A and B are shown apart, each in its own frame.
Chain A
Amino acid sequence: MAIHERSLVEPERILRKERLVIDGIDVSGDWNLIILPRVINDYDLDFAKEIVNSPDGKTINQCYQCSYCTASCPVHNYWDERYNPRHFIHLARLGLIDELQKRADVMWRCVSCHKCTHRCPKGVLVEEVLKVILRTMAKRGLIEEYPSKKFDKFFTEQVLEYGRIEDGELLFGWIEKQGYKVVKDPILRKPIPFIGETPEWLKQLTMKPIKSMNIGFLILNAKHMLFHPRTKNWNKFKHVLRKVMEEEGALAH
């Protein structure tokens, strides 16, 4: 059956059934198409309460929807208008989960510039609150983990292992994780830069600074890549840190 003014109906509200039986009557054929109403039937207040009750989500209650945050947000202004911190706060506070999910593809895009938090006239910790919303959604399986989270995990692992990061190993190790074929040295099993498969953007990103470096600095970097520098006495500390982070659930997210 044709839908008039199709452009006004979101695709997810259109249900088509091959066979449709309502109250025992087979209405397959012409009556196999249903357009779901747009009406909000209820609020999911448990979701909202979970956010308010988390220590970093408390300030969500202070929001009065002035949209100072969104007006200041670079992601909203220069990337995608669907990224709207003020709107996310309203949706989360009423537990309008389906509306939040419609924006799941943009919700991870915060660049953590903290303009929103610094400018909020009501003292809402906007950036923190948005992270709580995402965390709560991820916990309930309402949103997929954003790719950058995987990098964050890799980064955290490096810090936990050595007490500090090493740029070369971080970059090329990450490339390996992304599925590029890297060539590793036979002894220490570490990726050798630029020998294997290297994405073009990484070449451009790294070659320019490398060309302008003096030879002593290059040798130092090469040494660091082979022998990862460690924070002094890190081995004693890292087990404690890892244990604490695991207990607090900080490694889970």
Chain B
Amino acid sequence: MAKKVLVVGGGPAGLAAARALGRLGVPTLLIEKEEKLGGRPILENYYTLIPRKLKPSQVLGPYIKEVEENPNIEVKLKTELEACEGEPGNFKVRLSNGETHEVASIIVATGFQHFDPRRKGELGYGIYPDVITNLELEQMFSKEGRLYRPSNGQLPKRVAFVFCVGSRDRQLGVTNVHCCRYGCALSGLQGSEIREHYPDVDVFCYYMDVRTYGTWEYPFYWAPQEKYGVRYVRGRIAEITYSPADGRLRVKHEDTIVQRPAEVPMDLVVLVLGMEPSEGTKKVAKILGLAQDPDSQFLIPSEESGSNIVSNKPGIFIAGACKGPIDIESSLSEGEAAAAEAAAFIGAKVSV
């Protein structure tokens, strides 16, 4: 069976797709831009994944191992898709390392990138060392295993989470009006982790809405409040300033329940970053002619299909965060679903 499937992207969705195809006995080519498989969770050292509170190595480790070992799967790191021609079932793709391959089907799993908070200048990221991103907080936990203020290395007395930085914000243009979907839940988890290990640290979440949808409501919204005493204040942080007198930050906002402006001292401020389509997603969309959301530039599934993974081009399937914010477990499931669709599309004779 010479028909091959190309998987673009080695993150959770791409790994899941490649692993499933390998298991079905379909020859698979997995290309990844970075020098390591695993995507954002591995490359950026996430500490705990929502919603199951597992470590990235626990979740993605077995996937990476199997993908690397399965003889049906060929992995090419530091490789990007450069061009594609041909018709469904017979694509000719050219890679950045000069190789050309004939593939019958393509799975796009090019993922997302984190919002750059420097674009919200009023929040002081990059100016005040104690304003960090939730990604940096994850790395603080995973690499150094302790909580501290970057300015002086000491334990903060108060930590503030600023929700929706780079999400639901028309001021950034039409590209960032969507909800990042994971931020509320991750902040609830990080707040709980802080309170669990440092019970004397007070944690505040500044929110507009708390969108811990579905079964996430209890573990990531109720439990942080009820079990760990995380405080939620309704009001978007409009500005972060620094007071040289006491060396603490001030978060400016209106407490919309009290209906009064507030400038409350904080020691560490964590910006909860939004998600944007990665550069790779935008590039691949152009090469393959995939439909994109005119505002956010995320890929959008076929209008005729009710399924989330069927693209507007026959033979090309889209999985994971290239279509918009998504959590890891759904990303893995989508990768696996896309693998099944691709295998069916190429008419693979599956032996189990």
Interface on A for B, CB 8 Å cutoff?
37-43, 45, 52, 61-62, 64-65, 87, 90-91, 93-94, 96, 99, 122
Cβ–Cβ contact A45 & B258, under 8 A: no
Minimum C-beta distance from A32 to chain B (A): 26
B233 is an interface residue with CB less than 8 A from chain A: yes
Contact digits for B242-285, partner A, Cβ 8 Å, 1 yes 0 no: 00000000000001011011111100000000000000000000
- Whether A94 pairs with B261 at a CB distance below 8 angstroms is no
Establish whether residues B225 and A38, one from each chain, have CB atoms under 8 Å apart when the complex forms: no
Q: Which residue of B lies closest to A38 (CB)?
A: B260
Let me know if B258 and A96 touch, CB within 8 A: yes
Q: Is B40 on the interface with A (CB-CB < 8 A)?
A: no
Give Cα A90 to B264, complex, Å.
16
Partner of B264, one of A41, A65, A93: A41
7 contacts between A and B (CB under 8 A): A39-B260, A40-B255, A41-B263, A42-B265, A61-B226, A62-B226, A65-B234
Complex Cα gap A94–B232 (Å):
9
User: Which residues of chain A are near B222, meaning CB under 8 Å?
Assistant: 62, 64, 122
Distance A45 CA – B221 CA, assembled complex (angstroms) = 21
Interface residues of B, CB < 8 Å — how many?
19
Given known A41-B264, A61-B226, contact A93–B231 (CB-CB < 8 A):
yes
Please, which residues of chain A bring their CB within 8 A of the CB of B263? 39-41
B225 & A61 in contact (Cβ 8 Å cutoff) = yes
**Contacts beyond the supplied A40-B262, A87-B258: 17 A-B pairs with Cβ under 8 Å:** A37-B261, A38-B260, A39-B261, A39-B262, A39-B263, A40-B255, A40-B261, A61-B226, A61-B229, A62-B222, A64-B222, A64-B232, A87-B257, A94-B231, A96-B258, A99-B258, A99-B260
Given contacts A65-B234, A94-B233, contact A40 B258 (CB under 8 A): yes
Q: Does B169 touch A at the CB level, under 8 Å?
A: no
> Which B residues are in CB contact (< 8 Å) with A61?
225-226, 229
Assembly CA distance A90 to B260 (angstroms): 13
Min Cβ gap B80→A in Å is 46
> Is B202 among interface residues, defined by CB-CB distance under 8 A?
yes
Closest 10 CB pairs of A and B: A40-B262, A39-B261, A90-B257, A62-B226, A38-B260, A61-B226, A39-B263, A61-B225, A40-B260, A61-B229
Complex CA distance for A62 and B231, rounded to whole angstroms: 10
Contact A40 B257 (CB under 8 A): no
**What residues of A have a CB within 8 angstroms of the CB of B264 in the complex?**
40-43
B231 touches A91 (CB 8 A): no
State in angstroms the CA–CA spacing of A171 and B222 once bound together. Answer: 48
- Provide the residues of chain A in CB contact with B261, threshold 8 Å: 37-40
Chain A residue, CB-CB nearest to B157: A45
CA A96 – CA B264 in complex, angstroms?
Answer: 12
Q: Kindly state the separation between the CA atoms of A38 and B254 in the bound complex, as whole angstroms.
A: 11
Nearest B residue to A52 by beta-carbon distance? Answer: B229
Q: Which chain B residue shows the least CB distance to A62?
A: B226
Q: State the CA gap A37–B261 with chains docked (Å).
A: 9
Residue from A40, A91, A96 having most chain B Cβ neighbours under 10 A: A40
Cβ–Cβ < 8 Å partners of B255 in chain A:
40, 94, 96
